[in-house]
Amino acid sequence: METSVAQPGTSEATSERRGDCYQQLRNEIVSGRFHPNERLIEADLARRLSAGRSAIRAAFVRLDQEGLVVLEPNRGARVRLVSDREALEIEEVRVVLEQLIVRHAAQRASAVDLRDLRRSIDEMRRRLDEGNPMGYSELNAEFHQRIWRIADHETAARLLANLKSQSLRFQYRTILRPGRTEQSLREHERILEALAARDPNGSEDAMREHLSGVVETLRWAIEAQRHQPIWLPR
């Protein structure tokens, strides 16, 4: 899976030089390589990525604006800790944006679009039956991103991509909930049906249903964690 969706400052030239070290840092952060609140030292990173301090600095500014790191004057950058509350907020926003997008998609989906979505779902079913739920998360992301592409709503898609990168470290929790994947699959089916029927309202409802589930799951996970803390920040 990749988190790379079109972003404002990211040109798509083949031998892109600028976004390079930004992308690299970004990936390392969203994939959880750094601890929350871990301090990021310009010189270290510059050496490790074999880039100048200027580049690292620019990347920091961007990541700060994006909400992935916090940049304090004279104190450098640390990876931003997203609170439980904020994670919920992010999911809430995600729900309404996905609704907006799926509504557009319902008005624009072509036959081949629908066929591709069908295939995505079939593949998910296959993996699930194989007892291989590990790839499910990737396929899930793919399914949604396919819808983004169909909707052709750059603004919403961009915001969603940003939000997603922020909430990434929470997402794995929602996956692990027992019995969730089976239900998720059914919800995907419903979304596809509504899209195939070119039904904007139906699609929107199906998407809301689907993602409200995710929000509830997240709420549940956070609650569970609160009563059995694994890791205490010092």
Partner DNA sequence: GTCTCCCCGATTGTGGACAATATTCTGCAT
Partner DNA sequence: ATGCAGAATATTGTCCACAATCGGGGAGAC
- Of 21 and 101, nearer to DNA (C-beta) is 21
| Residue 25 binds DNA, judged by CB under 7 A | no
Among 156, 191, 215, 218, binds a copy of itself (CB under 8 A): 156
- Of 50 and 110, nearer to DNA (C-beta) is 50
Among 12, 17, 111, 228, binds a copy of itself (CB under 8 A): 17
Name which of a copy of itself, DNA, none residue 64 binds, using a CB cut-off of 5 to 8 Å depending on partner kind: a copy of itself
Which helix (DSSP H) or strand (DSSP E) does residue 129 occupy? helix 111-129
- Of 71 and 114, nearer to a copy of itself (C-beta) is 71
| Residue 5 binds a copy of itself, judged by CB under 8 A | no
Site for DNA in 33-92 (CB under 7 A): 39-43, 51-55, 57, 73-77
Please give the size of the binding site for DNA, defined by CB under 7 A.
18
We find the least distance from the C-beta atom of residue 43 to DNA, in angstroms, to be: 5
Residues making contact with a copy of itself (CB under 8 A) = 7-9, 11, 13, 16-18, 57-58, 61-62, 64-67, 70-73, 86, 89-90, 92-93, 96-97, 99-100, 153-156, 159, 163
